[in-house]
Structure 1
Amino acid sequence: MKLFEQVSLTQHVFCSTSMEMPSSLKKAFPSVKALPISNVIVDEKNNTIVWLHLHANQTIAAQLLEVKQKVHQARIIAMSDMPNDLEALAVFSMLAKAYCNTHAGVEVLMNIASVVEQGGIWIGESIMQKLLGQNEIEEQKLEKVLGTWSKLLTGRELEVAKAIAVGLTNKEIATQMHITERTVKAHVGAVLDKLQLKNRLQLALLVKDS
């Protein structure tokens, strides 16, 4: 019995610099090819989905930018060995269509591809809970800062807030701003306090929506 039948013709490509193609991805899409980014050719007649395996040698932004520059028409699904909310934030800030565990099961991968093929964005349960659940920004607080939030921050704090919005870690921000990680943490704490937010994810969403 087939678990899934593709209605549209979609080209699936797996790109990784450090691992072989996950067996579940091969089972889900038997025609999937493992190729380096430089060898991916987008078929304009059909959808092309690039399953990008993330690695630790570059920032998330740099990895996705490379794919977008080489195959800008492709839809990118980022795969992570250890998914986390901050990484997800960085992935979606670069306009990827989905973010998932590298070792996700066959049915999960099929569901993700189905959403992406139809032009949607697949957001994992954890980050969705933060967007819609108990950590949601209270409307009253949001109204206070939306549109004027940047005026509440110092120049350094604003720089940190914008860096967080593109998914940079404290270490990366420290390097970029030539300050210590301890100082970055202090800035982050001050920003969250001034804007009455609970975490970096809420801050990034506020920055991106403004």
Structure 2
Amino acid sequence: MANILILSINPILADQWKTILSEEHKINIVDTINHAIGHIQMNPTDILIIDADAADFDTDTTALAQIQNTALKALIIGRDWPEDQQIHALISGFSGYCEYDAAADQLLKATNSLLKGDIWIQRHLVPKVIGHLIELTNAQTIQTEKTTPAHNNLQTLTHRELDVAKMIRAGESNKTIASLLNISERTVKAHLTSIFQKLEVQDRLHLAVLLKEIIQ
């Protein structure tokens, strides 16, 4: 059971999301970004669900930056965000984006995916997110990454873990990886957990970016 914080100015919607998530997790609700920051500072919080109507992503830059600086996994729920805006949210440090209309069906699954170290975004956008992140990485940063423990620990991966890691780099889903390697999805998830720990990355997106740089 994880500690989930919902930030929303719509009490009816927040209660609906709480009902969905409380099947498996402990839920708290706040109605302003400042209240969210205060709660995060004082209470254990694993995931932040952000109602986009409760945060002006164009003007509340300072408050949103405070949330991003906590390194907390955050899922944005918005209305008809264009793909470029979704991609920008991911490369800015948020962990996923979900449409309001899909929240009733996808919210619990999206939250659990974030808890496992995944991101939540339309699958076809994943390569674009990775591409943007790599473009933002300058030569100095790349050189620095190549001397980090994450790079040095690449040799600690087992042969099968390396196979899984390379498929993550290619943007494959757990289901596809399981099929190609003739293993279960549960085994794929176990390999990913081990890979994240060994390479000191927080999710499959950062793993893919890292591997794009250090594996040719």
TM-score range, shorter chain: 0.3 to 0.5
TM, length-normalised to structure 1: 0.47
TM, length-normalised to structure 2: 0.46
Query: Is the helix fraction higher in 1 or 2?
Result: 2
